[in-house]
A and B are shown apart, each in its own frame.
Chain A
Amino acid sequence: MSRDVIMPALGMAQKTGLIVRWLKQAGDPVKAGDVLMEVETDKAMMEVEADADGTLTDVSAAAGEEVPVGEVIARIADGSVAAAAPAARAPATPPAVKSPPAERTQTSTPARTPAVAAAPAPSPSPSPSKNGRIFASPRARRLAAEQGLDLAKLAEAGRPQPYLVQHLEELRALAPEPAGGATFAATAPSASPLRLTATLAKDGLAEFCAWRRAETGAPTEEIAVMAGMAAAAFRPSASNAELVVAAYAFGAARSFVNADRSGLGSAKAVDTPANPELVLRDLRGAAVTDLSLGAEAAPTLSVMRRGVETFITLECAPAQLRPEAAIELISEFAGRLAEPLRHLL
């Protein structure tokens, strides 16, 4: 039986030890406690003792070698043993390439992602538009993007930065008015607008309103009901808790707040504000059978008559609605318009 002589770990962070000199040679008898070799670590010089009686054999590291801790570098055999050729040991690799012993737990620190957004510290600059950099609050930036507004226009107009939500009104007012007396601004978006259409064999609106008038005795206007349906369909994409739908019928504008929260058809009309979240145009009384007006300040649903069919378009800027949200909006709206009662239940 022989015992291993290992390069000991002598400090917490120590990975290798340098053999300074051997005090015993292969074949020497040793007793427990005899100093076998001197080892240098980054902290100090240490003597390594034999931990048993026997004969030193199989010395496989020489003075001057750097050995990883834990590695066997000699043996102590009990009883006499012929001096055997030392087992070939892999030559020491330079310390820099040492990997820690397998059993040491690797602490894995979560990857520290560097700051993703390139955000240099803002340097005070007299006219920010020269740098091209626009300072705006995160909320203002998000709402501007959703509404297809370009904050740079505010900079061009000379409004000092940073821009906040309250400045978006001003921004909207900067955009040219579209023809037709619409009461809200239209901006030309830089990317192609989204246009989706839906066709219904028939819509259940008139029938529903008649039923409701009979059931509740309350006046029921088709535009109010339609606004409720539009609001309900748009709700998942709404960013404001107070969802305003601006509705146009027969050339007159009426707006409804949270039309999907009151009973269908009972939403009260309010004055049309400067920035409705959704626009609804009921053009069934008009001769229009198709339109492609491009994106406006808010996503716009238009409802037209084509013979007995009802034709719906949804137009918006890509920044206002993701494609999936646009599809959901028009599908939900169309579904409710087709079968109002079914959606009530």
Chain B
Amino acid sequence: MAMREITLAKAVSEAIAEEMRRDPTVFVMGEDVAEAGHPFKTLAGLVQEFGVERIVDTPISEPGFMGIAVGAAMTGSRPIVDLMFGDFLFLAMDQLCNQAAKTHYMSGGKLKAPLVLHTNLGATRRSAAQHSQSLHALVAHIPGVKVALPSSAYEAKGLLKTAIRDDNPVVIFHDKLMYQDKSQIPEEEYLIPFGVANVVRQGSDITIVATSSMVQVARQAAETLNREGISAEVIDPRTIVPLDEETILASVRKTGRAIIVDEGHQSFGVTAEIASRINEKAFYYLDAPVRRVGAMDVPVPFSPPLEDLTVPTPKVVAEFARLMMKGEPFHVA
């Protein structure tokens, strides 16, 4: 199979362009999406091919254009709404969660809202508290919304194409620090299905489940651990709604130990949900409590040395793994 290398930003614009060529009802709307091609340049080239009628610049009206996208989706269009920063999700929440997410259910299956909310997450860019949040847990909590978390350019293209073809509201988050990261992708068209996790690295001593850019963190920790004789298995769920539980559970049954790494806040988030499911369905295979590594429960600070403290790192993940292998009790017996 012929392969070529592209950046994540290019993967996004390729996925959108391919889907827009395939389906004339798909269009993009958001701030600075047309001539500017998006501040992160993920949409560069699209307005040249599809024109301003399909790549629609909006005023700074997140509730407004999210609402318009919902109405358009309910009446035959397939909008891709670009939200410049994931932090702006709060502005769009009523439209996404009270309207789009519930339309199919509240209408008894008669109406649907096929739309993609395309946005980002991730800190350490020195953008401070209101431009650095990872809010995917909030939308994953709402029945009726699917959530995709690509961990590379390869994942980004395949998952975004699937999202655009899905008949439900899908929120897809890229880590904003990964736009220039490259992967190899096939020349031929490919899609990545939702609800199928990827075992990034096989191992037998401990399972590390990681999302988005935390997959890189987990991989680096695994390499360090490998040099110490600890064999870590790294799993990328790719989508948290739907979640591929079975791959995670099979791994934990094998290893008996699990660490979940996610850039949402430590409390009340994705790590807690996955840890809980492992507890419910693989309890008798656990040789240690499941550990969670999330972002610190603080607003993201501006000052660089402080900001860097708040996110999961390979060092922290590896240290947890060592303690779990030793059998270090995490609380007094």
Chain B residue numbers with a CB within 8 Å of A94 are: none
Contact A162 B329 (CB under 8 A): yes
**Cβ distance A171 to chain B, nearest Cβ, rounded Å:** 14
A263 within 8 A of B: no
B324 to A, closest residue via Cβ: A164
When A164-B327, A165-B256, A166-B327 are in contact, do A138 and B333 touch as well, CB less than 8 Å? Answer: no
Contact B288 A164 (CB under 8 A): yes
B322 within 8 A of A: no
When A164-B288, A165-B287 are in contact, do A139 and B333 touch as well, CB less than 8 Å? Answer: no
Q: Which of under 10, 10 to 19, 20 to 34, or 35 or more describes the interface residues of A?
A: 10 to 19
**Cβ distance B207 to chain A, nearest Cβ, rounded Å:** 13
Q: Which of under 10, 10 to 19, 20 to 34, or 35 or more describes the interface residues of B?
A: 10 to 19
In the complex, per-residue mask of A136-169: 1 if CB is within 8 Å of any chain B CB, else 0: 0111111000000000000000001110111100
State A202–B20 Cα separation when bound (angstroms): 72
Contact A122 B333 (CB under 8 A): yes
Contact B284 A138 (CB under 8 A): yes
Chain A residue numbers with a CB within 8 Å of B329 are: 162
State A141–B256 Cα separation when bound (angstroms): 13
Contact A139 B256 (CB under 8 A): yes
Chain B residue numbers with a CB within 8 Å of A165 are: 256, 287
Among B256, B285, B332, B333, find the residue whose CB has the most chain A CB atoms closer than 10 A: B333
B21 within 8 A of A: no
State A139–B286 Cα separation when bound (angstroms): 5
**Cβ distance A176 to chain B, nearest Cβ, rounded Å:** 26
State A162–B326 Cα separation when bound (angstroms): 12
Contact A162 B333 (CB under 8 A): yes
Contact B285 A241 (CB under 8 A): no
Contact A164 B254 (CB under 8 A): no
Contact B254 A128 (CB under 8 A): no
Chain A residue numbers with a CB within 8 Å of B284 are: 138-139, 141-142
Among B283, B287, B327, find the residue whose CB has the most chain A CB atoms closer than 10 A: B287
Complex interface residues of chain B between 240 and 295 (CB less than 8 A to chain A): 254, 256, 283-288
Which residues of B are at the interface with A, using a C-beta cutoff of 8 A? Answer: 254, 256, 283-288, 327, 329, 331-333
A-B contact pairs, 14 of them (CB 8 A): A124-B333, A128-B333, A135-B333, A137-B287, A138-B285, A139-B285, A139-B286, A139-B287, A140-B287, A162-B327, A162-B329, A164-B287, A165-B256, A167-B327
**Considering the complex of A and B, which 10 residue pairs feature the smallest CB-CB distances, nearest first?**
A124-B332, A135-B333, A161-B333, A139-B287, A137-B287, A164-B327, A138-B284, A162-B333, A142-B284, A139-B256
